[in-house]
Chains A and B, each alone.
Chain A
Amino acid sequence: MSWLSLIFGEKKPTASVAKERLQLIIAHERASLSGPDFLPDLQRDLVAVISKYFPVNPDDIKVGLEKQGNYEVLEVNIVLPEGR
């Protein structure tokens, strides 16, 4: 800051920063909220099927949908009980 702006108390224009931050967060939240909401159901069904064969805990099955570029990746992670 120059000595002039020190004297006249020039303020930093921060609105553009606010706008950029909002553009990012709003786009992100819209994408995550408008995503498919069948994931909890899918997880429940998977638990039901897999428990027929293994004694699994509902928390040991994780289902997630991720966006990678143009693709959506459905990730299912099942932790089988130890000692089998």
Chain B
Amino acid sequence: MATIITVTSGKGGVGKTTTSASIATGLAMRGYKTAVIDFDVGLRNLDLIMGCERRVVYDFVNVIQGDANLHQALIKDKNTENLFVLPASQTRDKDALTEEGVEKVLKELEHQGFDYIVCDSPAGIEHGAVMALTFADQAIVVTNPEVSSVRDSDRILGIIQSKSRRAIEGREPVKEHLLVTRYSPKRAHEGEMLTYTDIQELLRIPLLGVIPESEAVLHASNQGIPAILQKDTPVADAYLDAIGRFLGEEHPLRFVDYEKPGLIKRLFGGK
């Protein structure tokens, strides 16, 4: 059985694609055969974040419409074994994603022996976003410590609970995970930013991880290498911990407490 993981948020620009790329890469690094699908038809970006933009020949919509088969459209990742990217279409309109078409592609991926299928949702609550969460078994809700992001996350949780297949068919509900991104322990400590516990209290779903705000994310996207591969950076370590927790391991949260820099550090080595 393939497990379908939808990465969603409602709000745009919070780190969905960064997270999709890193979660998919992390699962593949653990040996699971993983596909990551871009659902943002017309505004595809996962290919850039994964660094495969020049190898896109066919896309998700081509497969749905029968212009190409899945094998032709899947791009084998160059950094990580077991990982494949299915890019979104850049030209066609969003309605090309039909429920039957999406279901067919997901079934075929399962048939080909994929363990995990990561669906990178577009922002908003329109058709593309609903299609990305319709078949979800698990959902990773990406939230920034900021009012509009938290409210939109709550909204998208409501949509998962009403429009997913699992909800409609009355099966076991979609397993929801909270991933707080762009977190600044210092600002949270000083009361300028919602803390991750505040966010968890508001949204009332289990916490998968806290990804610190970091320059490493921009470095990663500049190069087309998922952030989880930026070795020895707090961002990569935080994503690796999140993968571990997702797979049922216990890892204490890191990079969430603010340590006051000592005098020496402030004078010489402080950023």
Residues of A within 8 A of B23 (CB): none
Within 8 A of B (CB), among A1-29: 11, 13-16, 18-19, 21-23, 25-26, 29
Taking a contact as CB atoms closer than 8 A, the residue among A14, A21, A25 that contacts B191 in the complex is A14
Measured CB to CB, the nearest residue on chain B to A16 is: B191
Taking a contact as CB atoms closer than 8 A, the residue among B188, B190, B192, B202 that contacts A23 in the complex is B202
Does B216 count as interface, using CB distance less than 8 angstroms?
no
Q: Are A19 and B158 in contact (CB under 8 A)?
A: no
Does A49 count as interface, using CB distance less than 8 angstroms?
no
What secondary structure prevails in chain A residues at the interface with B?
Answer: helix
With contact pairs A22-B147, A23-B202 given, residues A13 and B190 touching in the complex (Cβ less than 8 Å): yes
Q: A13-B192, A22-B151, A26-B154 are in contact. List 20 more A-B contacts (CB 8 A).
A: A11-B190, A13-B191, A15-B188, A15-B191, A15-B192, A15-B193, A15-B194, A16-B191, A18-B146, A18-B147, A19-B194, A19-B202, A22-B147, A22-B194, A23-B202, A26-B150, A26-B202, A30-B154, A30-B158, A34-B158
Q: Name B's A-contacting residues (CB within 8 A).
A: 146-147, 150-151, 154-155, 158, 188, 190-195, 198, 202
